[in-house]
């Protein structure tokens, strides 16, 4: 559960690998955030949002002369309409404020990282 959902993006960029929860579980959120930002600045030209893959399409075309089409392709979307936020629906399934707070903690560092990168949260 933690490897896949507990601030996955911050942990991925901080540890430079997927499934990084075990390696980063003792790292304070602020330190995790700063390490992720440092690695992104050192290693990557750009981070793309899954909300707008048109930018990725354009960069691949400009840099490699390849035309790809990934914008508006959705897999495993479930039964709710495209564009409808899933978070409120997920939170409504939880019975207690404590459970909702714990789930919120799973995204707080990721949201801070995305905001600092200027990406949609």
The model's pLDDT over 86-97, given as tens digits with 9 standing for 90+, comes to 899 999 999 999
**Residue 20 corresponds to which tokens in the numbers above?**
């990084």
Report the SS3 class of residue 118: coil
- Please indicate whether residue 19 or residue 121 has the higher confidence score (pLDDT): 19
State yes or no: pLDDT of 47 exceeds 90.
yes
Q: What's the pLDDT at 78?
A: 78
Contact predicate 107/11, CB 8 Å:
no
User: Is residue 24 in some structural domain?
Assistant: yes
How far from chain centre, in Å, is Cα 4?
11
CA-CA distance, 69 to 9, in Å (whole number)? Answer: 24
d(CA 58, CA 82): 23
What pLDDT digit, counting tens, does each position of 96-105 carry?
A: 999 999 999 9
Domain count of the fold of the chain: 1
- pLDDT of amino acid 116: 95
Residue 54 lies in a domain: no
Whether 38 is covered by a domain: the verdict is yes
Taking only the tens place, the pLDDT of each residue in 53-83 is: 999 999 999 999 999 999 888 777 778 787 7
What range defines the domain where residue 101 resides? Answer: 2-44+76-116
Other beta carbons within 10 angstroms of residue 64's beta carbon come to: 9
- The predicted pLDDT at position 104 comes to 96
In a domain, 60, yes or no: no
């Amino acid at each position: 559960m933690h490897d896949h959902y507990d601030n996955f993006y911050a942990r991925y960029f901080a540890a430079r690998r997927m499934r990084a929860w075990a390696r980063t579980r003792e790292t304070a959120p602020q330190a995790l955030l700063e390490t992720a930002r440092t690695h992104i600045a050192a290693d990557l030209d750009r981070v793309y949002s899954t909300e707008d893959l048109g930018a990725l399409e354009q960069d691949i075309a400009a840099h490699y002369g390849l035309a790809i089409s990934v914008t508006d392709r959705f897999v495993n979307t479930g039964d709710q309409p495209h564009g409808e936020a899933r978070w409120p629906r997920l939170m409504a399934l939880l019975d207690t404020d404590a459970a909702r707070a714990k789930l919120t903690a799973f995204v707080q560092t990721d949201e801070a990282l995305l905001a600092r990168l200027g990406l949609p949260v």
